[in-house]
Amino acid sequence: MSEVEQQQRVNPAFDLLDEDKRRAVLRPRQYTLPYMLRFISSPVLKSRRIVLAGLGYAVSSGLLPVLASFIVYYLTMILQSPAGDLETLLLYAGGYAVLFIILSVLATNLLNRNYNFFMELRIGYMNQALRRYMLMDLGLFENSAFLDEIGKWSWALSSNNAGLEGTWHKLFELGGTAVSVLLLGLLLSWQSPVIMLAGIAFVIVYYFIQANIARYKYERREEQVRLARRLGRLSDLAADFRYGKDMRLFRIYGLFRSAFDSLTVSFEKFLRLFHAREFQLSFAGSLSLLLIDVVSFFILSSNLVAGAITLPQFLMLITAVTLFGQQMLVLAEGFAYVKRDMLYFADTMSFLQADLRTSGGSGQINIGDGIEIEFEQVSFSYPGADQQVLTDLNLKIGKGEKVALVGVNGAGKTTLVKLLTGLYQPTQGRILFNGTDISTVPQQELFPLFSVVFQECEPLALTVAEIVAGTDEGIDRERVVAALKAAGLWDKVSTFPQGIDQPLLKYVTDEGKILSGGENQKLAIARALYRKDSRVMVLDEPTASLDALAETKIYQDLERILAGRTAFFISHRLASTRFCDRIALLDGGRIKEQGTHEELMALGGLYREMFTAQSKYYREREQNSKQRSEQNSERRAERNGKRLAEQLPNGELGR
């Protein structure tokens, strides 16, 4: 296939900067309530056990209020009848109590025993969503509008009693309420259909009122999520061990508190708005419920006075009206709950259905006996940033060649690595691997080519072996040990009680070990070394946190480790680039100077300036430490002499 025909890989980070495109990807369609209900019911209906439990619950809990109405009827009738004796009364009351207990226990059991089923289903969706989060295009994390937009996905999945799982529980419970409402409604219709109709009207009105409140809140959700995300981030940082030292030594907490205060004030304003609206509308709902009660009492009292019903019937129906009102309220609130939480679950569904990964790409790299890399007129600026980090950069690296990339802080070295590894794409120009533009290669084929050690290498809370192998399955344990040895971390890991199976960090388990910054870096190096099939090794300041001895050891080993691989090495310490074939200096977004150390020194440019400054610093440091150690040994000798003189008899020292 010729290069022109090759399809480009698509990184959504740039596209989704545009609000309309973002909405089109994240909100491809409006989900209607019936569609959502079908969607969430389908996994539940597949389980016969749950369907039967739901029906059982509906009948057992639905009968309870109806029984309560009937018992009032029977007890009053017994009390009223001339032959009514205490024994019959106790028999009825006892029978009712037993039935009540059996039905309630059955209903509660059916409800609670199936709790786990719904939780497991929800966690399944949670896993799907987290997977999407982890695989989405890295550049999207730079887009705060996008993050605010997708920040909504998690709400509907984050609790047992709200969102998706809450809706399942609610629908399960509403089965019982619906049975009660139906039976009580039929009982009341016997006297007047008006009561039943008024009840239905109430449910509809109340539902719309609540749905209105829910929509009002939902429409302000984005702002709420934005505030919650910032508040959450601040509290995460405040509790983050890594920032603990800075926080205390630089007294940053004052800054934190003012940021926190202003965010909380905005948040409270929000909540006040919500509550005001809720109060106004729910007041109207309660009023209409009261109206139904008044009308029913009026109808039933008139019937009693007219002799159409007896006193026991009247009391039964009055009880039924009260229970009917209660159950109507539960039903209306239940419907409104489902409607509201489905609005939020629609955000989750949109997120689950949006494809946010880099996708496409039909190019193939012919790996052969190694990889030749060429940056061709490469320019880049970060999504949403005006400034270009790289501008028309050209650089060629031969197969198996080791190139050191140097430059001042912020020159763009790490950015260049992100482009090289395909995490980002150049805004202009191409990066070629053996002649193939890597922006046409699918990421899943590109990533295995690299072994990368990034500057920041905070490990995950997994075991040493899992971190090094990058998986929890099929770990080649011998290779893990070999990689740890080569990276100089084996001496440490071999002292752990669980060896390479020792978990790291204490977030998950108290047994987790904490490594120092330098040891974390060695671990990252071991992880890079474990990938034996990688063809390009990228080391971004791999020894920044290592002590001098560990650094020297790594450099001695690098020659062997890098054999046959094309390597990219970034370091501040210019002297550490010695093992590289060539040095390239990045400045002003371009490669300004390149060649061997000697050639660059002869050129007399920025490299020479940087190297001279560094070596002067090292020389001075060396001289200082030499002087210090000479002074120390003089002092030591003096002290020893004195001590010896004190121990010896007079005059012996002179001999």
Least distance to ligand ADP, CB of residue 418, Å: 8
Spell out the SS3 assignment of 372-384.
CEEEEEEEECCCC
Interface with ligand ADP, residue 535, by CB under 6 A: no
Nearer to ligand ADP, 415 or 594 (CB): 415
For ligand ADP, which residue of 412, 459, 503, 542 counts as binding (CB under 6 A)? 412
CA 224/CA 344 separation, integer angstroms: 13
Candidates 383, 423, 386; CA nearest to 144 is 383
Nearer to ligand ADP, 223 or 609 (CB): 609
CA 520/CA 541 separation, integer angstroms: 13
CA 515/CA 468 separation, integer angstroms: 14
- String of DSSP letters for 94-111: HHHHHHHHHHHHHHHHHH
Interface with ligand ADP, residue 414, by CB under 6 A: yes
CA 525/CA 519 separation, integer angstroms: 10
Candidates 400, 368, 347; CA nearest to 154 is 347
Interface with ligand ADP, residue 146, by CB under 6 A: no
Does residue 561 sit in helix, strand or coil? helix
Least distance to ligand ADP, CB of residue 419, Å: 10
Least distance to ligand ADP, CB of residue 411, Å: 4
CA 320/CA 651 separation, integer angstroms: 118
Q: Which stretch binds ligand ADP (CB under 6 A): 182-190, 404-412, 420-428, 608-616?
A: 404-412
Least distance to ligand ADP, CB of residue 378, Å: 13
Nearer to ligand ADP, 341 or 541 (CB): 541
Least distance to ligand ADP, CB of residue 223, Å: 24
Under 8 Å between Cβ of 581 and 506: no
Nearer to ligand ADP, 110 or 389 (CB): 389
Q: Which stretch binds ligand ADP (CB under 6 A): 114-122, 150-158, 412-420, 510-518?
A: 412-420
For ligand ADP, which residue of 296, 415, 520, 577 counts as binding (CB under 6 A)? 415
Nearer to ligand ADP, 334 or 542 (CB): 542
For ligand ADP, which residue of 58, 411, 453, 546 counts as binding (CB under 6 A)? 411
Nearer to ligand ADP, 180 or 543 (CB): 543
Least distance to ligand ADP, CB of residue 373, Å: 18
The sign one gets for the Cα dihedral 516, 522, 525, 530 is negative
Where b means 16+ CB within 10 Å and e means fewer, 547-574 reads eeebbebbbebbeebbeebbbbbbbeeb
Nearer to ligand ADP, 144 or 160 (CB): 144
Under 8 Å between Cβ of 610 and 574: yes
Would you give the distance in Å from CA 60 to the centre of its chain? Answer: 41
Interface with ligand ADP, residue 407, by CB under 6 A: yes
Least distance to ligand ADP, CB of residue 5, Å: 33
Interface with ligand ADP, residue 413, by CB under 6 A: yes
Write the interaction track for ligand ADP spanning residues 364-403; mark x where CB under 6 A is met and - where it is not. Answer: ------------------x--x---x--------------
Tokens 């709790």 correspond to what residue? 115
CA 483/CA 353 separation, integer angstroms: 40
Task: Return all residues near 274 (Cβ < 8 A) that are at least 6 apart.
Answer: 213, 216, 217, 220
Strands 450-453 and 536-540, sheet pairing = parallel
Does residue 391 sit in helix, strand or coil? strand
Interface with ligand ADP, residue 426, by CB under 6 A: no
Interface with ligand ADP, residue 68, by CB under 6 A: no
Least distance to ligand ADP, CB of residue 243, Å: 19
Interface with ligand ADP, residue 410, by CB under 6 A: yes
Interface with ligand ADP, residue 431, by CB under 6 A: no
Query: Could you list the residues that contact ligand ADP (CB under 6 A)?
Result: 142, 382, 385, 389, 407, 409-415
